[in-house]
Amino acid sequence: MDIKTKIVTPIFTYNKIILSHFKEQYSYLLARQIFIKKTYYSSMAKKQLQSGLTLNGIAPNILLKHVENTAPFLFKGELDTTGPTRAFMAKLVFYKKNLNSLKTIDLTEYFHICMAAHWSTAGTFVPTDVDNQIREGLWRHGEVGSHIEKMAKITIDSWTWDYTQVTNRKSYNLSRNEVMSTHEGTWLSVAIGAYCALKKNKRDDTADLVAEVILAEIEKEEKLLLDLQEKRDHINFLRTTALMAHNFGDLDRVIDQWQMSDDDLFKKRIYKLGHKLNESYSPILVYSGLVNKEFLSVENHRHMSLRQPKCLRISNRFLVPVGPFMDEWGAILGTSKDLTLADKAEIICAFFEGHGRQDKAFGYVRAFRGLINSLPDGLLTLEEHLAFDSMAEIKKSQFFESAKIEKEDFEADLKERLEDFRNPLVDYQF
């Protein structure tokens, strides 16, 4: 087959020349690898828009393609993008329909687009790779002096963006009508980058405003944990410890990234809250960090196995929740009419493969149980779509045996273990 029929349509014309040059000298595989690398680095190389804005990061049109790859449902009218708190999604939809408008954006708008892209994909299987741009890179841009106040305002506003449709990694405090997810960690990481940049540029008043919201977010997470403990809501408490550990971990990493001084009073108030006791906060924060490490840290990772089944990306209903609490999610996948039996078989294989990587984690086991229990004949429903050896391997595995445990029994065991959990690092218990 002619090589031109094998490759995808190149993004840049000169890549066709590169592929043609290698056609006679190298194999198709090597030529394709070079093409992919060249395309990737071209999208990341320094470039200048018609507006005069020079970028070191990803071109905005390529960024939109990345968003569409991992969250196609955003552009298919599946989500409610109305209202000011969901405008970040509407912005991406607008630019997807009006690509020429991207040529005239300034630094503030590019920052806003990157923020919107990351907020829209942080809960998906392949988040956009602009986190370092919004945490640091764009705050150090040569033109930031004339944009930093507007970028800071976007950062503050983003604390109230409604991300609930683009993530399933959530915990709830129904009495306060509050939701928490890993998006708060993304927000904290951007906010502390904004704070450091504002301080560096001697914008102390605006830095103080950002600091106030950072403290408000920390207080919100602390109160959520305390309220869930008071209500004896074991499962939501466990979910929240995983989210808090992620969120404060993001905050700590960007504090280190900006090399904040150990003598900085603000750093002392917000650093390592999940690891070290802090007189400003309840010991429940350190206790929760220890609970996460004991119970959930092995469960909530990058879910590399789930990147293979592309069918999981077609709907926001299929986004992965906080592990190991995945029974309901598995049932959603199993009952969905948007997934074929072949799709469901592929997803089960991904669960099985993922569990093989982390056999101490039970999230994929719970999801597997939820999925097959929703099928008319259980796993046999998918027999025609699974290889014989794959079916046999699953049936004889510990993975399959573990999936026989009822949800009520599984969660009762977690509740009992949480009640009994103690750690010498902190005098605290659930």
pLDDT 10s digits, 165-196: 999 999 987 777 788 999 999 999 999 999 99
Residue 2 three-state SS: coil
- Give the model confidence (pLDDT) of 114-127 as tens digits: 999 999 999 999 99
Closest listed residue to residue 138, CA positions, set 96, 90, 190, 175: 190
17 confidence band (pLDDT: 50, 70, 90): very low
CB 157 within 8 A of CB 111: no
Helix 28-44, helix 14-23: angle, nearest 10: 160
- Rounded to an integer, the average pLDDT of 60-64 is 97
Give the E-state strand segments of 32-169 in sequence order.
47-48, 54-55
- Rounded to an integer, the average pLDDT of 68-89 is 97
What percent of the chain is helix, strand and coil (3-state, nearest 5)? 65, 5, 30
Helix 341-357, helix 363-373: angle, nearest 10: 160
CA atoms within 13 A on the CB side of 407: 17
Q: Which residues pair with 168 in a beta bridge?
A: 321
What percent of the chain lies above the pLDDT cut of 70? 90
Phi, psi of 176 (to 5 degrees): -100, 0
- Give the model confidence (pLDDT) of 318-373 as tens digits: 999 999 999 999 999 999 999 999 999 999 999 999 999 988 999 999 999 999 99
According to the model, what pLDDT value does residue 45 have? 55
Mean pLDDT of the chain: 90
Phi, psi of 219 (to 5 degrees): -60, -40
- Give the model confidence (pLDDT) of 366-398 as tens digits: 999 999 999 999 999 999 999 999 999 999 999
- Per-residue DSSP letters for 351-366? HHHHHHH-TT--HHHH
- Rounded to an integer, the average pLDDT of 401-428 is 97
According to the model, what pLDDT value does residue 106 have? 97
Residue 106 three-state SS: coil
- Per-residue DSSP letters for 392-428? HHHHTSHHHHHTTS-HHHHHHHHHHHHHH--BTTBS-
Q: How far apart are CA 225 and CA 116, in angstroms?
A: 28
According to the model, what pLDDT value does residue 205 have? 98
Confidence check: pLDDT of 108 > 80: yes
Q: How far apart are CA 287 and CA 276, in angstroms?
A: 10
According to the model, what pLDDT value does residue 52 have? 87
Q: Which residues pair with 181 in a beta bridge?
A: 170
- Give the model confidence (pLDDT) of 211-268 as tens digits: 999 999 999 999 999 999 999 999 999 999 999 999 999 999 999 999 999 999 999 9
- Rounded to an integer, the average pLDDT of 299-318 is 96
Q: Say how far residue 202 (Cα) sits from the centre of its chain.
A: 32
Other beta carbons within 10 Å of 178: 14
Q: How far apart are CA 36 and CA 425, in angstroms?
A: 49
- Give the model confidence (pLDDT) of 31-53 as tens digits: 434 433 444 444 445 778 888 89
Residue 333 three-state SS: helix
pTM metric for this prediction: 0.88
Residue 147 three-state SS: coil
